[in-house]
């Protein structure tokens, strides 16, 4: 069974640009979660999508947004990139509320 897949593996951008990160969940999973793992800040919850809808959002500015497609894959968009957005962005998926979350290997976003 294929796990959660994320692309690209690495992404290099400059300040002010926009970044798009992609995630394909485990087959059968309907919920997708995004987390940011920044140096010194640990793992922080960003967004939760379920059945195509945004269900919960962490304490991040509106320039962090995303969506979930009918096939349950998801995109995370970050606009007006800032240096502090440099981090590993992890996507996870699950069967839904209360079920264990399974993680991909992440996208390393570097802002120059």
Peptide bond into 69 cis (omega under 30): no
What distance in Å separates the CA atoms of residue 34 and residue 91, rounded to the nearest whole number? 5
Question: What's the angle, vertex CA 65, arms to CA 51 and CA 12, rounded to 5?
Answer: 120
Helix (H, G, I), strand (E, B) or coil at 85: helix
Question: Site size for another protein, by CB under 8 A?
Answer: 24
Residues 13-72 that bind another protein (CB under 8 A): 31, 33, 35, 42-43, 45, 48, 50, 55-56, 58
Q: How far is the CB of 4 from another protein (least distance, A)?
A: 8
Residue ranges that bind another protein, judged by CB under 8 A:
4, 6, 31, 33, 35, 42-43, 45, 48, 50, 55-56, 58, 90, 92, 97-98, 100-106
């Amino acid at each position: 069974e294929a796990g959660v897949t994320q692309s690209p593996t690495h992404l290099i951008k400059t300040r002010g640009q926009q970044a798009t990160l992609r995630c394909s969940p485990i087959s059968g999973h309907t919920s997708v979660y995004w987390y940011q793992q920044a140096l010194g800040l640990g793992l922080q919850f960003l967004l939760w999508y379920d059945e195509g809808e945004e269900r919960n959002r962490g304490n991040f500015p509106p320039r962090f947004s995303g969506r979930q497609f009918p096939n349950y894959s998801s995109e995370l968009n970050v606009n007006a990139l800032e240096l502090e957005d440099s981090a590993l962005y992890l996507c996870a998926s699950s069967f839904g509320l209360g079920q264990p979350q399974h993680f991909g290997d992440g996208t390393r976003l570097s802002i120059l």
